[in-house]
Amino acid sequence: MLINGIMYDGGPAAIVPYLIGGPITTAAIVAGFVMVQPKQSKVLVLFGAYNGTLSETGLRWVNPFNYPRIPVSLRLRNFESGKNKVNDANGNPIEIAAIVVWRVTDTAEATFEVDNYKDFVAVQSEAAVRTLASRYAYDLKDSKDSAAVSLRANPTEVADMLQHEIQDRLNKAGVEVVEARISHLAYAQEIALPCCNANKPPPLWTRVRQSLKARWAWSKWHSINSLSVKSWSLTTSAEQRWFQTCWSFCVGNRMRNRW
């Protein structure tokens, strides 16, 4: 039998291996091709064992039995933590959040040392932020040592310490921390609102009402039956302005009945 110019003397049975082996060989060759994008990599696994990382860009051919081929990105990534409520070194409740810039440097450790390296980065970064916040005071006025580092007064030093704190936790996952910085820092609401309200002066109408109440009690104690602006000796110009503002909206007996 003549096939492609080659004479086969074995009859039809002789070409069966070629008909079966040809497609299998072709499929194996095609299966070995893999495309690698820029800043991407492929972790190769051969029969359950790590068999290297393919990081060269372009169309590559590997052993067809290298399966699975796990994609791992080598690009820079951002992680922004939520607002964590913690106590600083003096026990004051504060809210703190951070932004971490990171990337994978060891694909084998990122793939096999941890279950999910993305979740690992998120959890360990938030843990590092909490640890750092509890180690220092929020402000210098809250610190007993005037030369101590505080979260608010030393942002550069705090950012460097935060980066090293996170890096120590992520070394086992093959991750490099490029940058870490505080994105949000404030007192918690339970102490921030009282502090703001304590420094905030009362509204004008509240001050007017308090002044008029005091004056009305004084006049009633002296058995004064009618309200008159002239009968009241206002001690300060501020009180005069308050009373005139109130008097412009009220008339005689209405003011007396109200207070």
Task: Determine contact, residues 59/160, Cβ cutoff 8 Å.
Answer: no
Tokens of 42: 């492929």
> Which of 46-50, 147-151, 212-216 has maximum average pLDDT?
46-50
Distance CA 189, CA 94 (A): 8
Q: Would you place residue 18 in the very low, low, confident or very high pLDDT band (cuts 50, 70, 90)?
A: low
Q: What does the mean pLDDT of the chain come to? A: 78
What average pLDDT does this structure show over 51-56?
A: 92
Every domain of the chain and the residues it spans: 2-72, 77-191, 203-221+229-258
Model pTM score: 0.66
% of the chain exceeding 70 in pLDDT: 63
H or E element in which residue 115 lies: none
b/e per residue 38-57 (b: at least 16 CB within 10 A): eeebbbbbeeeeebebbeee
Residue 28 pLDDT exceeds 70:
yes
The per-residue pLDDT for 227 is 45
Tokens of 220: 């009633």
Candidate from 83-87, 92-96, 113-117, 141-145 with smallest mean pLDDT: 141-145
Q: Domain 77-191: which topology?
A: Tetrahydropterin Synthase; Chain A (3.30.479)
What average pLDDT does this structure show over 172-191?
A: 92
What average pLDDT does this structure show over 11-16?
A: 59
H or E element in which residue 45 lies: strand 40-46
In the DSSP assignment, the letter for residue 246 is H
Residue 49 pLDDT exceeds 60:
yes
What average pLDDT does this structure show over 48-61?
A: 91
Task: Determine contact, residues 173/113, Cβ cutoff 8 Å.
Answer: yes
Distance CA 63, CA 73 (A): 22
Identity of the amino acid at 34: V
